[in-house]
Amino acid sequence: MSKSVIEHEVVGHHDILRFGLHAVKGDIVGSHPLQSLRDSRSRISEEKKRMGLDFAYGSAFNLRNDFDAQILSRFHRPGALPSSMLGFEAFSGGLDEFAFEDYLNLPQDSESIRPSDLHHSMEVRLGITKGPVCPSFT
């Protein structure tokens, strides 16, 4: 079982607000045990699923799934229009999970949001002008 540790600089500038007060214990202790168990369990279940598909349909099926996932993960709308990545979420099974990110801190619900300029964001993306792609908050 691999051990995951939150990495940060020990020497040099130490950000107290981000990493807390500097202590030797913070350098030794890794992530929470439940977090590492959750990560390893999801990785093991994914490997079992791939192995089952490999036995049932052959190795070309997993390669095709990998190619489809790569293609769907690269799809983005032009400019500053938000991309929902619906195809990738449907392909990977992300539509079945409802996490905190799905309903907390949505930028569309903010009162201080400015509509984005599509022409400016495409010019920045193509390298014609410089600046932020979408200065959305005032």
Q: What is the pLDDT of residue 26?
A: 54
Burial-class residue 105 by CB neighbours within 10 Å (0-12, 13-18, 19+): exposed
pTM, 2 dp: 0.53
Distances 63 to 57, 72, 86, 88 between C-alpha atoms, Å: 11, 14, 21, 16
Tokens 């022409």 belong to residue = 119
**3-class DSSP assignment, residue 81:** coil
Q: What is the pLDDT of residues 87-125, one digit of tens each?
A: 888 888 888 887 766 777 676 666 666 667 777 778 887
Task: Write phi, then psi, for 87 (nearest 5 degrees).
Answer: -65, -45
Task: Encode the chain (138 residues) as per-residue pLDDT tens digits.
Answer: 455 555 544 455 666 676 666 666 555 666 777 878 888 888 999 899 999 999 999 999 999 999 999 999 888 777 666 777 888 888 888 888 877 667 776 766 666 666 677 777 788 878 888 777 665 544
Q: How far apart are CA 105 and CA 101, in angstroms?
A: 7
